[in-house]
Structure 1
Amino acid sequence: MREKLRVAAYAVCVRDGRLLLARSPAPGGTFEWVLPGGGMDHGEDPHDTVVRELEEETGYHIEVTGLLGIDSVRHVLPGERLRAPVDHHGVRIVYEGRIAGGELRDEVGGSTDTAAWFDLADVPALTRVPLIDTALRLWRERPADGRASVTSGT
């Protein structure tokens, strides 16, 4: 089995009770909402990654205001064509960010297609990746060890 490690950085940006999210294509031609952010380039600092990725996906420039925590997930993904399955380990660094400039816009030619603000109360009804729930727990709870409490169903 092949092994793959992916390190990524994401931002929780809440303004006036609304959360900034980006929409990403999902398998089967559907879409799901994701936190703005993404994979680190080799040699890139995670802080720089989240600033770059958020600007690419939303048009906003952010000020990173805190480190909320680090989430680690592991999945075995099926192999494609004649390739072996992949043991995928994702390390997601979750920051808190404040919008410091720029204007909301959609990403063109990237991993997302649109960005939008959602009332925090409306987020549970969205088709979304589990990281959003984890990141919001980190944002609400501010655990000293940087790990979100585990709840059933996530």
Structure 2
Amino acid sequence: MKKELRVAAYAVCVRDEEILLARWVAGDGTRRWTLPGGGMDHGEDPAHTVVREVEEETGYLAEPTALLGIDSIRRSWLRRLSAPGDFQGLRILYEVRLTGGSLRPETGGSTDLAAWHPLADVPGLARVGLVDIGLDLWRERPPVGRSRLTDPANG
């Protein structure tokens, strides 16, 4: 079985009751809103990853202000003509504040749009689950950095 681990860092950026999101484009063309962020390069510090990814996906310069938590997901897959796979994603979530830049979409990446959304409108957006996890961590600030949305003890 092929095993894959991906470590990534994501930004929760809220100001004036709005959250900054990037629209992710899946391989099948489906578009859903997500937190700005992405995969950590080998040898890269996670705080540098989130700064780099925010700029790539939104045009803004960002500064991490707090480590909100760490989320882990695991998925298995079966693909034609390949061995079964076991994927684990380790997602580090930071609160960030913007220090410069201007809003613009990413070109040639995994997202095609960046935008501010009122917090009250988030439940109606086509979004990935990470948005809800990030907002939960931002609102609740759990001492161990684990969202109640992913904690099996709360299931």
**TM over 0.5, yes or no?**
yes
- Is 2:31 aligned against 1:31? yes
Residue 27 of structure 1: how far off its partner (Å) = 4.8
Residue 76 of structure 1: how far off its partner (Å) = 0.5
Residue 83 of structure 1: how far off its partner (Å) = 1.2
Deviates more, 1:11-20 or 1:28-37: 28-37
Residue 98 of structure 1: how far off its partner (Å) = 0.5
Alignment partner of 1:56: what SS?
helix
Partner of 1:143: 142
Partner of 1:62: 62
Deviates more, 1:36-45 or 1:25-34: 25-34
Hey, what's the Cα distance between the residues in 1 that align with 2:44 and 2:27? Answer: 29
- Is 2:52 aligned against 1:89? no
Alignment partner of 1:29: what SS?
coil
Residue 77 of structure 1: how far off its partner (Å) = 2.2
The root-mean-square deviation of aligned C-alpha atoms, in Å, is 1.6
Hey, what's the Cα distance between the residues in 1 that align with 2:102 and 2:26? Answer: 26
| 1:13 partner letter | C
Number of aligned positions between the proteins: 152
> Structure 2: which 5+ residue stretches go unaligned?
none
Partner of 1:77: 77
Deviations 1:64-103 (A, max 9, x none): 1000000011011232x41112100000000000011000
Pairing of 1:113-124 with structure 2 (within 5 A)? 113-124=112-123
> Structure 1: which 5+ residue stretches go unaligned?
none
| 1:52 partner letter | R
Hey, what's the Cα distance between the residues in 1 that align with 2:97 and 2:50? Answer: 12
Identity of aligned residues (%): 64
**TM-score for both structures, normalised by structure 2:** 0.94
- Is 2:16 aligned against 1:10? no
Hey, what's the Cα distance between the residues in 2 that align with 1:26 and 1:47? Answer: 25
